[in-house]
């Protein structure tokens, strides 16, 4: 049910929206609602006369008014609710406000506040966004998709809510994540909000708190699994292909056992990627590239310890492994330099808990012969630190405080500038804080975190901690894939994105030990990443044959700026 179309006047080349709604229906549509910014002609032609006060405001005045209200709102959850209410009332104004205050509002619309919001989503949701598909409605998927009012869906972010950030199974309350990711696609990447659709696959939950909560609004049954779940996903994907054949599908916050399987099964069948595996791996690799640039060393000079070998850990380890091979390491050398720890300890080739996605990083028994162990029969991460002496430590465990003072002291012994990434989010789940790393290494450590930490003083200098935020990669990657009409997403596209991102860290930022660019440059970052991805798509025969300069022009034009389009009343009603 299309409520508007984006058109161009053949005489004046003016872009405008042809609107098929009238009166309060226009005001109730968040993408069409301009509030006090409707001009006199629009008020007359769309039946808005008498529904609005006489003052006509521009978007700058509206932004100032809403920022003043936002600033008076106390508490992060309350600020989140305020912004979501604005998004559901006036989408263009929401993005204009977000883009002008991105670094301030990013922790509210996404991590860490979005995690807290998801834990109470059924209690704070005022209006529903996106599409919910359950076992009861999957048979009607074509009808559901036909009711989407967006003129051209090109991007879908989908979750089943089973592994939301580090918080676990939140059922359909996990919808806050796809909504938040699309906020970032638009604000950071410049995708047009009229082409972005968040979806939650509401297949139940095993979270007893939710099942027993009378206010929980999701599918109140235990989580679907096995062959029944696989069939549900297949029907969903086929529905996407039929109804939105040009869309990019981003898998988001699926459980480890499902995430890898879905990525394998559908990466060749539909334009898609998994942000938890590939996006996290790419941005972490970029930060590591910058760290090596600061230390004037190669990846082959390091030993890497990755703790938490789930989606993010395997994604990061796989990218490190690929870089080692690119530098000329043999497969066996690369394997020996990337050590992975999970719940049982160091992954070994004969570990009974080993899954096939972890196998490439399992160590030979001969490699640990002669190690001194605190408890014979178990190789803990502390054992690895003391015996293998890694120079890079990466945590993706959601275990707050895992990088204890003892762990950080061991890392400080292993290198003058140890690299320590505490990547779990939200902040409450971080393995350590930036100040703890600075104290343990006397300010010499190269630290990156998954959640934002404020700047602080240490050893007489101001330290700014880079946030390994997937926002540095996925908006640009998605934009590049879409403008190039890529037929699939490849590892080469992610590698190009990582290199482009690291290359944007300026020399003065390197001198300050920043590992990633400033978030204030995120629109430009997305454009540079998009060009790198589009060029790889072209060069690998998967995308349009445009020159580098042509891609730059296309990407610049594709990046939407929040503004009010002129409206014209359509000749027909689609109500």
* DSSP string for 120-141: THHHH--S--SEEE-TTTGGGH
Catalytic residue ranges = 110, 181
In terms of Cβ atoms closer than 10 Å to its own Cβ (0-12, 13-18, 19+), residue 65 is middle
pLDDT tens digit sequence for 266-304: 999 999 999 999 999 999 999 999 999 999 999 999 999
% the chain with pLDDT above 90: 82
Name every residue whose Cβ is closer than 8 Å to that of residue 332 and which is 6 or more positions away in sequence: none
- Tokens matching residue 308: 């938490």
pLDDT tens digit sequence for 160-192: 999 998 789 999 999 999 999 999 999 999 999
Helices (H), 442-559: 474-483, 491-503, 507-511, 522-539, 548-558
Please tell me the distance from the alpha carbon of residue 306 to that of residue 321, in angstroms, as a whole number: 12
Going 423 to 426 to 432 to 436, the CA torsion angle's sign is positive
DSSP label at 443?
T
Please tell me the distance from the alpha carbon of residue 290 to that of residue 503, in angstroms, as a whole number: 8
User: Do residues 243 and 143 lie in contact, with contact meaning Cβ atoms separated by under 8 Å?
Assistant: no
pLDDT tens digit sequence for 529-559: 999 999 999 999 999 999 999 999 999 999 9
Please tell me the distance from the alpha carbon of residue 197 to that of residue 17, in angstroms, as a whole number: 19
In this prediction, residue 575 has a pLDDT band, given cuts at 50, 70 and 90, of very low
pLDDT tens digit sequence for 416-435: 999 999 999 878 889 999 99
Provide the phi-psi class of 130: left if phi over 0, else alpha when psi is between -120 and 50, else beta: left
pLDDT at 573 over 80: no
User: Do residues 25 and 51 lie in contact, with contact meaning Cβ atoms separated by under 8 Å?
Assistant: no
pLDDT tens digit sequence for 64-97: 999 999 999 999 999 999 999 999 999 999 999 9
Rg (CA), the chain: 24
pLDDT value for 453 = 87
Between 111 and 241, name the one with better pLDDT.
241
Please tell me the distance from the alpha carbon of residue 473 to that of residue 331, in angstroms, as a whole number: 27
User: Do residues 468 and 287 lie in contact, with contact meaning Cβ atoms separated by under 8 Å?
Assistant: yes
pLDDT tens digit sequence for 303-325: 999 999 999 999 999 999 999 99
- Tokens matching residue 454: 């404020």
pLDDT value for 574 = 47
In this prediction, residue 158 has a pLDDT band, given cuts at 50, 70 and 90, of very high
Please tell me the distance from the alpha carbon of residue 426 to that of residue 153, in angstroms, as a whole number: 30
Residue 111 has phi, psi (to 5 degrees) of -65, 140
In this prediction, residue 355 has a pLDDT band, given cuts at 50, 70 and 90, of confident
Half-sphere exposure in the Cβ direction for 285 (13 Å, CA): 28
- Tokens matching residue 185: 């696609």
- Residue ranges of the chain that CATH labels 3.40.50.720: 278-471
Please tell me the distance from the alpha carbon of residue 493 to that of residue 491, in angstroms, as a whole number: 5
In the block, which residue shows the tokens 């235990």?
222
Residue 168 has phi, psi (to 5 degrees) of 85, -150
Please tell me the distance from the alpha carbon of residue 431 to that of residue 250, in angstroms, as a whole number: 27
pLDDT value for 112 = 84
pLDDT value for 572 = 57
b vs e for 345-359, b when ≥16 Cβ sit within 10 Å of the residue's Cβ?
bbbbeebeebeebbe
Please tell me the distance from the alpha carbon of residue 316 to that of residue 450, in angstroms, as a whole number: 13
pLDDT tens digit sequence for 25-50: 999 999 999 999 999 999 999 999 99
- Residue ranges of the chain that CATH labels 3.40.50.10380: 58-270
Please tell me the distance from the alpha carbon of residue 194 to that of residue 315, in angstroms, as a whole number: 31
Collapsing DSSP states into helix, strand and coil, what is residue 393?
strand
- Tokens matching residue 490: 């490849």
Please tell me the distance from the alpha carbon of residue 419 to that of residue 447, in angstroms, as a whole number: 6
User: Do residues 379 and 349 lie in contact, with contact meaning Cβ atoms separated by under 8 Å?
Assistant: no
**Helix, strand and coil percent figures for the chain, each rounded to 5:** 50, 10, 40
Please tell me the distance from the alpha carbon of residue 25 to that of residue 16, in angstroms, as a whole number: 19
Domain 58-270 listed as CATH 3.40.50.10380: yes
DSSP label at 140?
G
Cβ-based neighbour number of residue 517 at 10 Å: 22
pLDDT at 199 over 70: yes
Average pLDDT of every residue of the chain: 94
Cβ-based neighbour number of residue 127 at 10 Å: 10
When pLDDT is averaged across residues 569-575 and rounded to a whole number, the result is 65
CATH fold label, 278-471 = Rossmann fold (3.40.50)
Name every residue whose Cβ is closer than 8 Å to that of residue 342 and which is 6 or more positions away in sequence: 307, 308, 309, 310, 313, 353, 358
- Tokens matching residue 109: 């619309």
Largest CA-CA distance found in the chain, in angstroms, rounded = 84
């Amino acid at each position: 049910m299309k409520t508007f179309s984006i058109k161009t006047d053949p005489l004046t080349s003016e872009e405008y929206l042809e609107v098929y709604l009238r009166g309060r229906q226009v005001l109730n549509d968040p993408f069409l609602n301009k509030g006090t910014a409707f001009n006199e002609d629009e008020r007359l032609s769309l039946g808005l006369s008498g529904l609005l006060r006489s003052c006509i405001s521009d978007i700058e005045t509206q932004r100032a008014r809403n920022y003043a209200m936002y600033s008076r709102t106390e508490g992060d959850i309350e600020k989140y609710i305020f912004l979501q209410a604005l998004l559901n009332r006036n989408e263009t104004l929401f993005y204009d406000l977000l883009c002008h205050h991105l670094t301030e509002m990013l922790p509210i619309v996404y991590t860490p506040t979005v995690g807290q919001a998801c834990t109470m989503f059924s209690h704070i949701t005022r209006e529903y966004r996106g599409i919910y598909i359950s076992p009861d409605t999957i048979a009607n998927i074509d009808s559901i998709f036909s009711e989407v009012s967006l003129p051209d869906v090109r991007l879908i972010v989908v979750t089943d809510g089973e592994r939301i950030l580090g918080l676990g199974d939140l059922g359909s309350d996990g919808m806050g994540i796809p909504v938040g990711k699309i906020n970032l696609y638009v604000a950071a990447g410049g995708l047009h909000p009229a082409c972005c659709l968040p979806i939650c696959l509401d297949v139940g939950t095993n979270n007893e708190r939710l099942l027993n909560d009378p206010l929980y609004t999701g599918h109140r049954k235990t989580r679907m699994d096995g062959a029944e779940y696989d069939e549900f996903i297949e029907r969903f994907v086929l529905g996407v292909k039929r109804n939105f054949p040009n869309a990019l599908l981003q898998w988001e916050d699926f459980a480890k056992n499902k995430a890898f399987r879905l990525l394998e099964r559908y990466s060749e069948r539909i334009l898609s990627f998994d942000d938890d595996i590939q996006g996290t791996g790419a941005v972490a690799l970029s930060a590591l590239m910058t760290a090596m640039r600061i230390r004037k060393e190669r990846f082959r000079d390091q030993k890497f310890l990755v703790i938490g070998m789930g989606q993010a850990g395997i994604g990061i380890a796989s990218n490190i492994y690929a870089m080692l091979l690119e530098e000329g390491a043999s497969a066996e050398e690369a394997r020996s330099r990337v050590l992975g720890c999970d719940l049982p300890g160091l992954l070994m080739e004969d570990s009974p808990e080993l899954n096939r996605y972890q196998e490439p990083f399992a160590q030979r028994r001969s490699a640990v012969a002669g190690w001194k162990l605190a408890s014979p029969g178990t190789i803990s991460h502390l054992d690895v630190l003391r015996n293998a002496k890694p120079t890079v430590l990466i945590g993706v465990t959601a275990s707050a405080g895992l990088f204890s003072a003892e762990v950080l002291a061991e890392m400080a012994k292993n290198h003058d500038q140890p690299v320590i990434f505490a990547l779990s989010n939200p902040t409450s789940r971080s393995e350590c804080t930036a100040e703890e790393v600075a104290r343990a290494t006397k300010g010499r450590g190269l630290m990156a975190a998954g959640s934002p930490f404020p700047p602080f003083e240490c050893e007489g200098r101001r330290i700014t901690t880079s946030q390994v935020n997937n926002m540095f990669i996925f908006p640009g990657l998605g934009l590049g894939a879409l403008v190039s009409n890529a037929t699939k997403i490849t590892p080469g596209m992610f590698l190009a994105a990582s290199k482009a991102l690291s290359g944007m860290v300026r020399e003065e930022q390197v001198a300050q030990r920043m590992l990633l660019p400033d978030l204030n440059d995120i629109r430009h970052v997305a454009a540079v990443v998009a060009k790198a991805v589009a060029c790889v798509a072209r060069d690998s025969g998967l995308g349009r044959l445009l020159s580098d300069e042509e891609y730059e022009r296309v990407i610049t034009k594709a990046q939407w700026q929040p503004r009010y389009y002129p409206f014209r009343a359509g000749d027909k009603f689609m109500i």
